[in-house]
Structure 1
Amino acid sequence: MPSIKHFLFLVLFVLSCSCKSSRNLVYFSDLQSTAISQTPIENSTEPKIQTNDLLSISLSSLNPESNILFNSGMLLPANNNNSSSLYKVNEGYLVDKNGEINFPVMGKVQLANLTIEEATEKMTTLIKKYVKNPIVNVRFINFKVTVIGEVNRPSSFTISSERINILEALGLAGDMTAYGRRENVLVIREKNGVRTAARINLNNKEVLNSPFFYLQQNDILYVEPDNKEKLSQTNLVNRYIPIFVATITALAIFFGNARK
């Protein structure tokens, strides 16, 4: 029937007009698929201790009394004859606004702007004045990043390795949704009393060399939604076009069979 065919053509025309151009959902889409790209890693930096960081500082030595003394709030386990056991601090040491921690026996110790390795060396040197051959372990307790916006599982994540990049953070959050704008991801960072906001394009391979590719403690990653894309998906015309097409197709088949 010509009328059915004409109506079907009209519906398909409306469908084609309502369809948006496809969005680029591929990370680093400008990387050649057949080539090997190698660049030296120059943007990876060790995180430095900042104010309000919470540190775990543990001591192991051959002297059980020193272990108890410097591992604040800890006691030897019952029936433990191994005096070199490693003791862990439960609550940790808070870096105050002056960049100092309050450590047993030694009092205030300046650790701000040091890497974990540098802080470990400094604490080891200081404790050697009181303990022979100490083994000191310093770690972040509150090294976390927050991922929000158009991701499947927005949340704050505590990082045990103290090293994470943007892709790993997105992986923890279940990756972006289809509505996430990969070309306009916002990183918010607070460091030394300065708040920095930077936008990066994850469609572009150059982000691999960005100083914001590797995240630091307390960074916030915000994935901006594509509101136009969302709006098009909720548009009534787009919502009911598949139903119209299915209905007209069924009618065309029905009347086509009826004419035979």
Structure 2
Amino acid sequence: MGKLKLFFTLLICFFFTSCIPTKDLIYLQKNDSKSDTQPVESVNQKPYRVQVNDILSITIKAMDSKYVEIFNYSNISSQQGLSEQTAYFNGYTVDDHGDIRMPVLGLINVLGKTTEEIRVIVEEKLLKEYFTKEAGVFVSVKLSGFRYVVNGEIGNAGTKILYQDKVNILEAIANSGDITITGDRKDVIVMRRFPYGTETFHIDLTNSNAVNSPVYNLHPNDYIYVKPLKQKTWGTGKTGIESLSTLITLLSLATTTFLLLRN
């Protein structure tokens, strides 16, 4: 009887340690069960500052379009729809010195500046050297797609590009096929480049406080890594049925081995 109790105790422990609990799979869980509502907190997201190897899309318009054709040396992106290839070949890539090279305007340093600051620089340069206010010059500066990399326990790993100005980590993960059942949602790693180097951040996506993390709202060129849970390393199964199947297989193997050695 004592051995039977020990067997069932070990069996229960096996189930609890090998199965992945539901709470590890749900995003943004509330910590305070006493309150169903939480006050909305404003998120002070700092504007992104351009870095080396970023690609900028700069469009210049005027009342008479023929006067700005030389600046807009390619209209492929507006005619055929923006793609990664057209952005690469027709956008303005920030070189190792932080400069972009534009027709007529020449080199313009944009390193560490926001897209709005770059817009002002280009517009002021045009009005000062080539146009008057009556020309109605209009400048638009955007990043050529929001690029990020996701790897690890994810449905569709690789380099992704979203054509929008802001992307949070949940949007990025959803766009990549979601985290697999064996992915660790409690400790997602985000590596971010800065002018002084690269920093590594950790974010718990099962906690509702994740929205206050400095990496909840991504920056272009962020690298996201989802670690595997220990259950994947053990190979015991992700669900109760899989764990039970593994246990039955082990017991069958142990029984067969015992009977063969006994005979």
TM-score range, shorter chain: 0.7 to 0.9
Hey, what does 1:103 align to over in structure 2?
Answer: 102
Query: Structure 1 residue 15: deviation in Å?
Result: 4.1
Larger deviation, residues 103-112 vs 125-134: 125-134
Query: Structure 1 residue 193: deviation in Å?
Result: 4.0
> Out of 8, 18, 21, which is 2:14 matched to?
18
Hey, what does 2:49 align to over in structure 1?
Answer: 48
CA offset digits 1:136-164 (Å, max 9, x no partner) = 11111153011111111212211211211
Alpha carbons of 1:104 and 1:224: their partners in 2 closer, same or farther (altered >3 Å)? same
Contact 2:147 2:162 in 1 (8 A): yes
Hey, what does 1:5 align to over in structure 2?
Answer: none
Hey, what does 2:115 align to over in structure 1?
Answer: 116
Q: Tell me, in whole angstroms, the C-alpha distance in 2 between the residues paired with 1:57 and 1:220.
A: 26
Q: Which structure is larger by alpha-carbon Rg, 1 or 2?
A: 1
Over the matched positions of the two proteins, sequence identity in percent amounts to 27
Does the residue aligned with 2:185 lie in a helix, a strand or coil?
A: strand
Does the residue aligned with 1:171 lie in a helix, a strand or coil?
A: helix
TM-score of the superposed pair, with normalisation by structure 1: 0.75
The structure in which a higher percent of residues are helix is 2
Hey, what does 1:185 align to over in structure 2?
Answer: 188
Contact 2:145 2:164 in 1 (8 A): no
Alpha carbons of 1:89 and 1:138: their partners in 2 closer, same or farther (altered >3 Å)? farther
* Residue segments in structure 2 that go unaligned for 5+ positions in a row: 77-86, 252-263
Contact 1:54 1:141 in 2 (8 A): yes
Contact 2:155 2:180 in 1 (8 A): yes
Alpha carbons of 1:214 and 1:145: their partners in 2 closer, same or farther (altered >3 Å)? same
Query: Structure 1 residue 124: deviation in Å?
Result: 1.4
Hey, what does 1:208 align to over in structure 2?
Answer: 211
Hey, what does 1:226 align to over in structure 2?
Answer: 229
Hey, what does 1:195 align to over in structure 2?
Answer: 198
1:29 to 2:35 alignment: no
RMSD: 3.2
Contact 1:232 1:238 in 2 (8 A): no
Q: Tell me, in whole angstroms, the C-alpha distance in 1 between the residues paired with 2:185 and 2:6.
A: 35
1:133 to 2:136 alignment: yes
Q: Tell me, in whole angstroms, the C-alpha distance in 2 between the residues paired with 1:242 and 1:15.
A: 11
Aligned residues: 228
Does the residue aligned with 1:181 lie in a helix, a strand or coil?
A: coil
Alpha carbons of 1:158 and 1:50: their partners in 2 closer, same or farther (altered >3 Å)? same
TM-score of the superposed pair, with normalisation by structure 2: 0.75
Alpha carbons of 1:240 and 1:214: their partners in 2 closer, same or farther (altered >3 Å)? closer
